[in-house]
Amino acid sequence: MAIITLTTDFGLKDGNVAIMKGVIWQINPAVQIVDLSHLVEPYNVLEASLILFHAAFDFPDNTIHVIVVDPGVGTNRRPIAAKIGSQFFVCPDNGILTQIANKAKKCQLPVDCFHLTDTRYWLPTISHVFHGRDIFAPVAAHLASNIEISMLGVPIHDFIKLEVPAPRKTSHGWRGRVIYIDNFGNIATNLFPEHIEARTTAVFRANNLEIKGMVHTFGDNKNGELIALFGGPGNVIFSIVNGNAALQSGIAIGDEIEVVSE
Amino acid sequence: MAIITLTTDFGLKDGNVAIMKGVIWQINPAVQIVDLSHLVEPYNVLEASLILFHAAFDFPDNTIHVIVVDPGVGTNRRPIAAKIGSQFFVCPDNGILTQIANKAKKCQLPVDCFHLTDTRYWLPTISHVFHGRDIFAPVAAHLASNIEISMLGVPIHDFIKLEVPAPRKTSHGWRGRVIYIDNFGNIATNLFPEHIEARTTAVFRANNLEIKGMVHTFGDNKNGELIALFGGPGNVIFSIVNGNAALQSGIAIGDEIEVVSE
Amino acid sequence: MAIITLTTDFGLKDGNVAIMKGVIWQINPAVQIVDLSHLVEPYNVLEASLILFHAAFDFPDNTIHVIVVDPGVGTNRRPIAAKIGSQFFVCPDNGILTQIANKAKKCQLPVDCFHLTDTRYWLPTISHVFHGRDIFAPVAAHLASNIEISMLGVPIHDFIKLEVPAPRKTSHGWRGRVIYIDNFGNIATNLFPEHIEARTTAVFRANNLEIKGMVHTFGDNKNGELIALFGGPGNVIFSIVNGNAALQSGIAIGDEIEVVSE
């Protein structure tokens, strides 16, 4: 059974997520639909790209990921569909695939991207305000019905990638950034193992705070202590055991993080 | 595969939504269950009726919509099931079907409504406090198992419709109301194309603010600008591009909106 | 079709719930996955145990309940799987099954519990920070594929049960506690019918408030009135008709409740 995931900034109250599901099932009643996240900050394409990136490749091959964070809905930004590695993506061309494309480049995954132009795979009437319902949901449903992605439009090679802040080399180490705060208040950075000389000697500085060394896991430490460790996606995170590191430290998205080896 | 949608004011924490799903699957394990919304304001039947109305007819024929916003649970308000046009509805008789019934009248959809009286299709024990679990979920599961709706109880013609505020004609135009604020802060009114003489000359006034003319879509405008356009369900909405119109304008549900042509 | 329910403290934004679903479907694409709750207060094992307990036995036989509220992830706390009565449970051994185990004892349900030790049923690589993805999701998917629970590890009899506050006998009645506040602000206590001499003569005291007598259901009363009744799981709850009892009374989780007969 084909799987479609949905990622939006629609929230969970208004029923717009359900509308997209209804439209999909009208075209293909056998598809399994799953919510990836609907709590993306409104219009925050970069946040959506990050949440999508963390989850997309944990799905079975040929899963179809629909992402509708679409501040340009109704303008001439392009609707696109892409096959990247084992997964399909259907979304507006506004940078949502940035992190996925970066991974594809790094891991040499094949990328096939199409500008959605064949209106036979859309709803008959297209509004100016809800392309999730009118274009992206029906296109995903047709993909799930084994329509070839190349049937949906014309190949493109210039889909949009956003500038993602990368760590910069300093005289003594690296300077990275906070890129996400999760439900536990864990502070995710864009620092990866390649930026850390050694776990034991790493010293992190942010917001007048200093963390010396990295631990293996949360539970190794005392409650209330600010610690650094490698998180689920492999990057450095700061955490407070049984607490909320972001709230308690005041460190926020965008803040600079310095790491040196001492 | 039959589809059942669930709309409630239960929220997403307590597990009561999951209980309804468990009960449905005990009776019919093959049904596809989907959340329409569980963030209806507690006891707000009119809000539930609006959210339901926006989404219900985007589902495949014979989808079963269960709605449990039920301030009168355990009293003698009637449990009902209705077939309206292509869709089934199972809910307390408290006005939840108001907007659906109005549409049925306008579009001359057939309406068949039944007072649920046959307790064979309920759970064996009925509590005073959770008819979503005890009556509405099992009835929906039996409907999904192809039990005829007429088996579930006795036909009625007087199910409850709430007073929905309609726009009033003024000397120069119409006076409508704000009926909903969505996740983006878009302000939805009860003004439809029939109340607008011409897009270009329409002037809206609310809360000491004035909007001149209507645009086609969000992206046509500058960030931060308050605009008027037709929303997903076809009514006039006010929006701030990449902002939150409700928060930034102070316009709230129930506020009056005047439209004239200048 | 096998059913897996998920209960976590992951929230609904970060995509970690979707990751668990992706992992499950990679192993068993035919499983039906349903969210029980993801809004458990972070690290609150006792709250998770209560939400789970209320919903678990409303599911079809052989439903698999995965619970990941796991402050000790990555430490040497054991991962476990249990068959208790008609239901399967997969979770860390930290007390999450407390209420279920208490019910099993009371109702003499059979209990079979296993320490998950056979890594063939886990993901190939185990992180220190996300055992929901690496251990619990794959084990549940294998259980759903009819792997015998006894294959997953070694039998244990000492899985952890938390101390649950029980009502104490007083000279005139019982002293219980508030154990949960639901989405409507209803105040759930640990007082059950066995602690109430008679509905009509029961008097409850909490927080300088007094409630005389118990009613049958919400709708029997005037709006705004604080009432006592038996809730969905059978325990005494306090409620305000069309209001929010917790907000309006100030009564909070952990507060003492006295009941006497007058």
Q: Per-residue pLDDT tens, chain C, 262 aa: give them.
A: 799 999 999 999 999 999 999 999 999 999 999 999 999 999 999 999 999 999 999 999 999 999 999 988 878 899 999 999 999 999 999 999 999 999 999 999 999 999 999 999 999 999 988 999 999 999 999 999 999 999 999 999 999 999 988 999 999 999 999 999 999 999 999 999 999 999 999 999 998 899 999 998 887 777 788 999 998 888 999 999 889 999 999 999 999 999 999 8
Encoded tokens for B96: 């939840």
Question: By percentage, how much of chain A surpasses pLDDT 70?
Answer: 100
Q: What is the pLDDT of residue C77?
A: 92
Nearest chain C CA: its distance from A70 CA (Å): 18
CB-CB: which of C9, C18, C25 is closest to A60?
A: C25
Question: What are the residues whose beta carbons fall under 8 Å from the beta carbon of B156, sequence distance 6 or more?
Answer: B78, B80, B113, B114, B115
Which of B72 and C98 is assigned the larger pLDDT? Answer: C98
pTM greater than the 0.90 cutoff: yes
Q: Please provide residue B85's backbone torsions phi and psi, each rounded to the nearest 5 degrees.
A: 60, -130
Tens-digit pLDDT profile for residues B75-107: 889 999 999 999 999 999 999 999 999 999 999
CB-CB: which of A18, A77, A130 is closest to B232?
A: A130
Those of residues 155-184 in A touching chain C at CB distance below 8 A are 182-184
CB of B55 within 8 Å of a chain A CB? The answer is yes
CB of A35 within 8 Å of a chain C CB? The answer is yes
The answer to whether C220 contacts B9, with C-beta atoms less than 8 Å apart, is no
pLDDT band for position B219 (50/70/90)? confident
Cβ atoms of residues A72 and A43 within 8 Å: no
CA B80, CA C124: separation in Å to the nearest integer? 52
Touching chains, B (3+ CB pairs < 8 A): A, C
The answer to whether A128 contacts B230, with C-beta atoms less than 8 Å apart, is yes
Average pLDDT over chain B reads 95
Cβ atoms of residues B80 and B93 within 8 Å: yes
Q: Please provide residue B28's backbone torsions phi and psi, each rounded to the nearest 5 degrees.
A: -145, 95
Once rounded to an integer, what is the mean pLDDT over residues A38-56?
A: 97
Among the listed ranges A46-60, A222-236, C56-70, which one has the minimum average pLDDT value? Answer: A222-236
Question: By percentage, how much of chain B surpasses pLDDT 90?
Answer: 87
CB of A30 within 8 Å of a chain B CB? The answer is yes
CB-CB: which of A1, A58, A184 is closest to C22?
A: A58
CB of C218 within 8 Å of a chain B CB? The answer is yes
CB of A1 within 8 Å of a chain B CB? The answer is no
Cβ atoms of residues C36 and C52 within 8 Å: yes
pLDDT at A162 over 90: yes
Q: What is the pLDDT of residue B223?
A: 79
CA B55, CA B35: separation in Å to the nearest integer? 11
Those of residues 128-157 in B touching chain A at CB distance below 8 A are none
Query: Taking phi first (over 0 means left), then psi (-120 to 50 degrees means alpha), and beta for anything else, what does residue A224 get?
Result: left
Cβ atoms of residues B173 and B258 within 8 Å: yes
pLDDT band for position A75 (50/70/90)? confident
Interface test with B, best of A129, A130, A133, A136 (most B CBs within 10 A): A129
pLDDT at A207 over 90: no
The answer to whether C242 contacts B43, with C-beta atoms less than 8 Å apart, is yes
Residue B242: list chain A partners with CB under 8 A.
Answer: 43, 71
CA C84, CA B63: separation in Å to the nearest integer? 35
Interface test with C, best of A3, A33, A99, A183 (most C CBs within 10 A): A183
Nearest chain C CA: its distance from A38 CA (Å): 7
The answer to whether B14 contacts C182, with C-beta atoms less than 8 Å apart, is yes
CB of C18 within 8 Å of a chain A CB? The answer is yes
CB of B12 within 8 Å of a chain A CB? The answer is yes
Half-sphere exposure of C65 (CA within 13 A, CB side): 35
Average pLDDT over chain A reads 95
